[in-house]
């Protein structure tokens, strides 16, 4: 696989068409097509621009994936997580790994509960402030 094919692969991985990707990188659609076909090579400014939106430039240039290549939404999540205090990090990890918080020293082991119903209940979750799973209550009949 050559440079142009890898560039196209990254563009598609990010869910963009040639026009969108080109605009973000400050070039025209024809230039993007030329980059992907291999008839032209981009400059450093282009590569820096696509890196900012989550393209793995190391992969595009060398064919070797960056171990820390993250999509933009993953970057936001990671930055938010790194800004949390230790106790909140612990709760977040517990939630992501099955919704069970590890027991404190001397506590009985936590029990998993079976969820019945639609996951759509989370679409009605509060969007501001601090809340946890116990704050989400499914109303009967809905």
Tens of pLDDT, residue by residue over 43-63, are 999 999 999 999 999 999 999
> What string of pLDDT tens digits covers the 142 residues of the chain?
899 999 999 999 999 999 999 999 999 999 999 999 999 999 999 999 999 999 999 999 999 988 766 677 888 888 899 999 999 998 888 888 886 655 566 655 555 555 455 444 444 444 555 555 555 555 555 5
Residue ranges covered by each domain of the chain: 3-62, 70-104
Radius of gyration of the CA atoms of the chain, in A: 22
Compute the Cα dihedral for 73, 74, 79, 84 and give only its sign: positive
SS3 70: coil
**Spatial CA neighbour of 92 closest among 83, 103, 81, 82:** 81
Q: Which two tokens stand for residue 103?
A: 């027991």
Decide: 102 and 90 in contact? Cβ < 8 Å.
yes
In CATH, 3-62 is 1.10.260.40: yes
Decide: 40 and 31 in contact? Cβ < 8 Å.
yes
């Amino acid at each position: 696989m050559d440079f142009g094919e890898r560039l196209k692969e990254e563009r598609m991985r990010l869910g963009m068409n040639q026009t969108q990707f080109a605009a973000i990188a400050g070039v025209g659609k024809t230039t993007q097509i030329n980059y992907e076909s291999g008839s032209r090579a981009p400059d450093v400014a282009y590569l820096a621009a696509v890196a900012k939106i989550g393209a793995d430039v190391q992969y595009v240039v060398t064919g070797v994936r960056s171990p820390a290549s993250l999509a933009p939404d993953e970057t936001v999540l990671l930055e938010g997580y790194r800004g949390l205090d230790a106790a909140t990090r612990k709760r977040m990890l517990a939630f992501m790994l099955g919704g069970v918080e590890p027991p404190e020293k001397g506590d009985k082991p936590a029990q998993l509960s079976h969820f019945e119903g639609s996951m759509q209940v989370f679409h009605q979750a509060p969007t501001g402030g601090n809340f946890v799973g116990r704050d989400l209550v499914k109303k009967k009949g809905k």
